[in-house]
Each structure stands twice: as C-alpha cells, then as structure tokens.
Structure 1
Amino acid sequence: MMSSSNSLQIGASALNAFSWGTAVTAHNVANVSTAGFEPRRAVYSNNSNNQGVSFDAVLKDAGSAAVQNPDWAAAKAVYDVTSGLPLEASAPSGTDLSREFTTMISTQHAYEANAQVVRTSDSMLGTILDIKA
C-alpha cells in the first residue's frame, strides 16, 4: 500500500524530471536558428520499485535530420555585403518546431498531473493531522 508521503515523493520526483524535460525542449527551441544544431531528447525512467520518475539523460535526437530546403542552393549563393565574397552556408538546424511544441505540451500536462498528485497528497496529510489534533 502506498502512503501519502510516498505519493508526495513520487509526485516530487516527477515534477523534477519533467522540469528537466521542459528545459531540454526550451534548449531545442532556442537553437532553432542555429546552423547545424541537432535537437536533444529527454530520457525518463521509473525509479526503483516504480516509486517515481527520474530524468536519466539527454540524448541527441536520432530521428531528426536537417531538412534540405529546395532553395538551399540559392542560399549558398549569398554574398557578404561588406567584402563581396561568397558566404559558405552551413546545414540548417534539425529542430522541428511542431515536434518541440507537441513535446512541450505533453510535458506540461504530465507536470500538471503530478503537481495535482502533490496537492492532493498535501491535502490528505493536512486532513490526517487535523483529525489527530
């Protein structure tokens, strides 16, 4: 049987893990214009005995690839205005904003659900203390 303090610990561990996940997503969005940037993904797992969630790692997103823009050849023909020399264009960012916002929304919902677990556990503990007092 799970006690109220266990549910507080489980909720708190999940809040911590999902806050790191939000930071990873924010990092990806912040680098959407960074040429050659490879987005990262947060990796989560269950704690021992399934008593919470832990943030395990940040991995490069294997599913992302820099999208080749059909007009990318035109971008390579850009000249530096001051020197008149052609600029070397690098690969665009591999960040997919639609995927990042979807990840952000699902992480937000998971965070909110676990915040509710913490609030409910706190309320239950308060009621128990009031009864014992």
Structure 2
Amino acid sequence: MIHLNRSLPSLAQEHFVSSSFANAHSNLDMMSRLERLSQQQQWILFTAQCRRPRVNELSAYRIQCEKVIHMKPSQSRDELSIAIQAIQSGNASAVIVSKGIAKADQSRLIQLGKQFQCEVFFVDSHSSALH
C-alpha cells in the first residue's frame, strides 16, 4: 500500500466541482472518476493554474500516471483557451482547470466537454504548491 505525504493537501482533500458530479461534493468521487478515465486511451490534462498532482497521490487512487499531463504556464495563451483546445483536440478524457475561470466560461467548458466526451473538473488554484 502506498502512503500519502500529508504535508501538502492531497488532491482528494481539495474542493472540486465536476461537470459529471454537479450535485456530488465528494472529492473521492472525482478521484474515482479520474481512475476510470485514465483507463482510456486519452490524456488527463491539468492546466498550469492547478497544483501539480503527485505521483503517490495518483497511484493511491490507481490513476495511471503515464496518462496525466500537467501543462507549463503559457506566455501567450490563457487557461480558458488552452482548456478549449485540449477538449476540442479529442485527445483528453478529462481536463482539470482552476475555479478562477468565469462561471459563464465554466458552463461553456462543460458543454464543450459533453460534445467531445471529455470530463471537465474545476479545482481551487494552488499554483504556489507546484514542485
């Protein structure tokens, strides 16, 4: 069994909003969903504004780490345009973005995700926790 380092908040301890679990507030539901999505051929993409997931966290939830991408900050593009491109590419089974995106744009991303069979999750921004 893998033990998690509890010195930094784990992904499951953070506050998540999911397009698939609009009424569910359990972070474990999101991690369970990511585990299933990691079984697909597509990527799970975290934008640069999201805290970098740690390998031991992902492994503890049986999320295939080799399917997870954490984007580097872009000099020329904002988080919304990066998320839109990732969804529209058809190469992502999930896109995780920060809650800093405007509510109207969050709704737009959720609808776009449904169109392209891509789950969209919104998380608290923890850019300072990156390592």
TM-score for both structures, normalised by structure 1:
0.20
TM-score for both structures, normalised by structure 2:
0.20
